[in-house]
Each structure stands twice: as structure tokens, then as C-alpha cells.
Amino acid sequence: MAKHPSSGEATTLLLSERGVQYDTHDSTGSLPPNDEKLALRISNIPASVTPEQLAKWLNNLKVKDHGDSRGPKRQRMDNIHTLSLAPSPSSDYDRYQVATVNFRKLPSGLEMCRPPTTTGVPIELGKEEPRFSALFDSHFEGLTPLNNPKNPTLDIIAVTGLAGHAFGSWRSPDDPEMWLRDFIPKDLEYSARILTYGYNSTLATESAKVRIGDLATSFLESLKDARSQKGSTQRPIIFIGHSLGGVVIKKALRKADCSSVDPKDVHADILHSCHGILFFGVPNLTLEVTNLREMVKGKPNNHLIEDLGGTSQFLVTLGEEFCRYFKQRPTKIICFHELKDTSTVQFNWAKNKWERSGAPLRMVTAESAIHLPNIDTQNDIGHTPLLVATFQRVGYGFSVRERGECQCEARLSSYKYTHGCNNLS
């Protein structure tokens, strides 16, 4: 196995948090809009590459000086806002690493990575060995490692929601810092391997047909790869699901339950290792889809909206099957419901695209978000208070309930977390 030359094992380094600092002021005095907020994923990095080497090579990528018509030039060594580096979450973990990076200015060779582009951009990095072709993307589909300490004691796996983004959905719209990558590792004293999972759930499309069963199967297969790494089997898991992501988690665990005949099977390992689940605004009964029906009318994903909206027999049946298994287990489940309405989508004819500019609406009611029949949701799963407390950075508002009584409230937009009484009967 290839080893990290300094620590003996590939680890995550957050340059903005772990001792490698860069000047926060740009030499031009201003920044191109949104560059710092655009996170990129870098794949195909050899396991022998150190964080310091990668940072040096990334800083040497040419950037275009906005306001300077002379074209691309080399940026000085302060163009990285945040960089993480961790082993690949697949079977080639001993050969490759995956990085995430927020540049202060996007290098000119990576302009093609700007959304809505979904293709990867290959770029040669390194001057000598190990020179390699790194693949940059901004879609973050599949599993992406955000933190992987030397001896993790916990796996935290987050799944984004409907039309969400595996990175962008977990950060504030105003800042580049991301809850899962930039805050949880430090709050948990770098004890957890943290992964985020992304998938294409774009609604207004003529080609991609999203099926929840297929999403769950793909997610489960990715988990099997990630859990096949040495030392990761039987490691406790905490799942975090937002909106449709929670439905995908439930469906995946249900599939694992149906296929785990052998106790030594990877599916059985995933089930038995599930120590906690956080559901953020997950439609357990129904999703308010009135404003989405027009978007998907006559399109392949119309069936997805119908499965989630109205009196959804699909969600009710899935909930019953999910709860039938977990009511017999010590797994702790926290259900959060939203405290803020969400702007609805409407079509902007001038821009010829759908935008969230409609009247605010509660997409998932409290009743739907906390409905788990025959399961008492809890608010004490070890690390969970820390997980919730740091979620305040994301800028949403949620509250969590146990047995129908308000237990703790996360007023995330005002940077406060209030923990209620743990002993309600």
C-alpha cells in the first residue's frame, strides 16, 4: 500500500484550519464574484502526494487577472482558501486520494468547471514525479471524502436532498465554509471519517429519469466500496439526510435489510453499524409539490414528484418498512423540521430558466418531518449535539422533536443552538 510520506497514512488537511495559512487579501483588492464559494473536487491524486505538494501545484495554476487584458498570469502563493485531502472512498483507496478546494480566484484552465457543467476537466499537476493527470469537477456526484483522520472511530455520511448538491447544500449561501468539511472535524477532534454523497436529481430535464430505488441502490453500492477499506468494517455510522436524501437513506437501509442474509455480508455490516440517523426536513409522509408539478409536467421526473407528493403511499409504505426494522434496534434517530419557509420555484421567461423566486412555502410540514411510527426519536446520540450545534453555520432553521414534544431547537440563521430537556416522559 502506498503510504503518506509524513504520517504513514493519507490524511485530511484543511489548510485554513491546520497550520498552513495564506494571506486572505487579494493583490488586486477585489475578487471575481463567487469564486471562493465554488468548491471543486479533484480525483486521481496518487496516494504518495502530500497536502503541501498539492497546495503548491494548485497555487501554480494560472489565473486571469480580472481587469487585466493581458490574459492569464501566475498567481502568488495565496490562491487557496481551503483545501482538503483524503483517501479515495472506493476500492482503490490505497492508490489514490480525493481533494476538495476553494480557490480565491478560479484558475483560467478550470473555467469549464463552473456550473451547470457536469463534465470533468483533466489538468496535469506536478513538475516531476509523481506527475499525474488530476480530474477536476464541480458536480460532486457519488461519494466524496471530506475528512479522514489516521484512526477514525466513526463514519459520518451525508446525503443531499431534491435537486441539491453534495457540497453546496451543506454550506451557507454567503460563505465558502462548509459544515461537514470545515466545522465538524474540528468539533469532533478529528475522530470521524466524513463523506458526502451526491446524485443527479435535477427535475426540469428531458433526459434523466430519477427513480428512488435506483438512487438507493447506487448509494448502497458506494457504501459497500467505502466500507471495504481495511479497518472500516463495523465502524459506527451516523447518517445525515436532507429532504429526498433522507428518503434515499431509508430506502438503501431497507434494501440492505432485505439482502443481508449472511451476518458477515457487507449489507449486514452497514445495518448493524448504523448507530444514528439525523433527518433534516425529510418528507416521511408527504412533500409539498404543488409548485413543482408544473416544472416536471410531461417530463421524465413527473413520476418522482407524484411519489413524494399528495397522499404518498410510497412514503407511507417505506416508512412502515423502515420503522419495522429500527424499532427493534438501539439506533438513535433525530427528526428535524424546518423553521423557515422555502421560496418556491417559478419560470423566469426573461432568463428562460426556473428560479426560486416564488412565494415562500413550507415544503415539509412538521407533521411529515417527525412522523416515524412506533419509533421514539431521541436527542442523545453521543456526538449529535456537536453535529447539530455546528449546523448553525449553514444558515437554515430547524427544530427537533421527541415523542411529539419540542426537545431542542436549532436557530441556525442566528448562530444559536438551544438544547432542551432530555427527560420528558
Residue among 329, 412, 408 at smallest CA distance from 372:
329
Is pLDDT above 50 for 310? yes
Assign 389 a pLDDT band (cuts: 50, 70, 90): very low
- At 69 the pLDDT is 47
With CA atoms as reference, report the closest residue to 145 among 270, 10, 46, 256.
10
Which range has the worst mean pLDDT, 33-42, 231-240, 261-270?
A: 261-270
pTM recorded for the entire structure: 0.81
3-state class (DSSP) for residue 425? coil
Tell me the average pLDDT across 247-273: 82
pLDDT digits (tens, 9 = 90+) for 139-191: 999 999 999 998 899 999 999 998 889 999 888 777 788 889 988 888 788 88
pLDDT value, residue 259: 67
Helix (H) or strand (E) holding 51: helix 51-59
DSSP 344: P
Share of the chain above pLDDT 70, in %: 73
d(CA 354, CA 344): 10
What band does 138 get if pLDDT is binned at 50, 70 and 90? very high
Q: For the chain, give the percent of residues with pLDDT over 90.
A: 33
The candidate with the shortest Cα–Cα distance to 29, out of 82, 65, 80, is: 65
What pLDDT was estimated at residue 374?
A: 65
Domains of the chain: 39-137 (3.30.70), 142-419 (3.40.50)
Q: Which region among 62-66, 79-83, 179-183 has the lowest average model confidence (pLDDT)?
A: 62-66
Q: Which pLDDT does position 406 carry in this prediction? A: 34
Distance CA 37, CA 178 (A): 10
Three cell numbers, residue 79: 490562491
